[in-house]
Amino acid sequence: MICSKCSEKAVFLEPKLCKKHFIDYFEKKVLDTIKKFKLLNKKDRVVVACSGGKDSTTVLYLLKKFHGNVVALAIDEGIKGYRDKTLVDLKKFCKDNDIKLQIYFFEKEFGKTLDIMLKKKNYPCSVCGTFRRYLLNKCAKGFHKIATGHNMDDEAQAVLMNLLKSNTDLLLHSVPITSKRKGFVQRMKPLYFCSEKEVAAYALLKGFDVGFTECPYMEESFRNVVRNSLNNYEKEKKGSKRNILEKHLKLINDIKISRKSFQYCSICGEPSQSDVCKACELIKSFK
Amino acid sequence: MKIFIEKQNKNIEKKFSGKIKDLLKDLKINSDTVLVVKDKELITEEDLVSDKDSVKILSVISGG
């Protein structure tokens, strides 16, 4: 199978491209998303939320290349045999690429590792997600934007999950860049239109040292059910994931979805939908 | 042929000659969820492999 742009052997099928042209295609796709949705201003101070996996490492590499000065921010939830491994890769990547890395720990910030927390409450993704979102927003204060490694698969899954759970206001989060709101650092997703397979191929072809890792709590999540369904839809009907996102962006632009109002948590001062934020409520429940 | 399936951290031996897409079908693996590597090079679902080859099937899904 030959590349559609030259006579080299293709390494990717859709689109049919050799290594050099696939890398060019992928980087252009990310740059086009950054330009089209105005993800970056020249003077933005940007922090990249990093896990050490292929997606966030790719974002870190490309923003360093396109924008220059970026800082990596990692959260160590305390998941033994998983996060400790991915952070080894991330530390090496940051050192090799001269990128400043800041790591925050659940144990230090909330008094317990996630592994310990889950002995008391058995809904891993909810507990982890609440604390990760809280810490990310809190620790990114002082930066203009938080860049995350969410790819097209992640976003199509999120749209479908929020529809299935009837979380209409959360649909507003599945966008290439979140709107400006007091108390929140804007979040942007440069890989919004890149499929998981494209990101994995790019990371492999660039030689990023990101081994296969899977969160040990993943099987228990609803996301896993939705991920499998979407992969089956995509197999039967190519373009399903992209179609979901394109229609989703059009719909949330056309219809008015009211956001839940927020106040500030009386304990920590972070934005919250009630007097005490979810993170502080969880911390109390673990005491 | 020798096959390493990363997601299951498993090495298997299988008699197979043909296209990667048919190998994945035989193994009941959705091609959208994996990359296939032969001799340290990324290959496509349309590439041919034979019994003498050794391939790695890498999962594109990682994280949580």
The residue-averaged pLDDT of A74-101 equals 94
Q: Which residue among B30, B44, B62 sits closest to A235, beta carbon to beta carbon?
A: B30
Residue B64 lies in a domain: no
CATH of the domain at B40: 3.10.20.30
Q: What is the mean pLDDT of chain A?
A: 92
Per-residue model confidence (pLDDT) at position A122: 74
Contacts of A11 (CB under 8 A, 6+ apart): A17, A18, A19, A22, A201, A205, B41, B42, B43, B44
Mean local confidence (pLDDT), B9-23: 96
Kindly give the pairing relationship between strand B34-38 and strand B54-59.
antiparallel
- Confirm whether B6 is domain-assigned: yes
Domains and CATH numbers, chain A: 1-36 (no CATH), 40-208+219-259 (3.40.50.620)
Ramachandran angles phi, psi of B2, nearest 5°? -95, 130
Q: Does A243 touch chain B (CB under 8 A)?
A: no
Residue at B13 is within a domain: yes
On chain B, the residues whose CB falls within 8 A of the CB of A153 are 61
pLDDT digits (tens, 9 = 90+) for A119-148: 887 788 889 999 999 999 999 999 999 999
| A218 touching chain B per CB within 8 A | yes
Give the residue-averaged pLDDT of B35-59.
Answer: 96
Domain that holds residue B42: 2-59
Q: Is residue B27 part of a domain?
A: yes
CB contact under 8 A, A213 and B47: no
User: For residues A143 and B22, what is the distance between their CA atoms, to the nearest angstrom?
Assistant: 49
Any chain A CB within 8 A of the CB of B5?
A: no
- The answer to whether residue B8 is domain-embedded is yes
The yes-or-no verdict on residue B6 having pLDDT over 60 is yes
Q: How far is B60 from chain A (nearest CA, A)?
A: 5
CB contact (8 A) between residue B6 and residue A128: no
Residue A249: φ, ψ to 5°: -65, -35
pLDDT at A256: 77
Chain B nearest-CA residue for A213:
B62
Least Cα distance to A79 among A207, A204, A213 occurs for A213
pLDDT, mean of residues A19-31: 98
Residue A57 DSSP symbol: H
B-chain residues within 8 Å CB-CB of A218? 63-64
Could you report how far apart the first and last alpha carbons of chain B are, in Å?
32
* pLDDT value of position A220: 60
Residue among B7, B30, B58 whose CB faces A231 most closely: B30
Of A54, A234, A235, the CB nearest to B62: A54
ipTM of the complex: 0.96
> What is the spatial distance between Cα A36 and Cα B54, in angstroms, rounded to a whole number?
43
Residue B64 pLDDT greater than 60, yes or no: no
Spatial distance between the Cα atoms of A193 and A26, rounded to a whole number of angstroms: 10
Burial bucket for residue B50 (CB in 10 Å: 0-12, 13-18, 19+): exposed
SS3 of A195, please?
coil
Mean residue pLDDT across chain B: 93
Spatial CA neighbour of B30 closest among A236, A26, A10: A236
Q: Is the Cβ of B22 closer than 8 Å to some Cβ of chain A? A: no
Q: Measuring CA to CA, which residue among A152, A174, A153 is closest to residue A162?
A: A174
pLDDT digits (tens, 9 = 90+) for A223-266: 889 999 999 999 899 999 999 999 999 998 888 777 778 899 99
Taking residues A54-62, report their average pLDDT: 96
Q: What is the DSSP letter of A95?
A: H
**What DSSP string runs through B6-36?**
TTTTEEEE----EEHHHHHHHTT--GGGEEE
Q: Specify the pLDDT at position A146.
A: 97
Number of structural domains (chain B) is: 1
- Over range A60-83, report the average pLDDT: 95
pLDDT tens, residue by residue, A142-201:
999 999 999 999 999 999 999 999 888 888 889 999 989 888 999 999 999 999 999 999
Please tell me the distance in Å from A44's CA to the nearest CA on chain B. Answer: 28
% of chain A residues with pLDDT over 70: 99
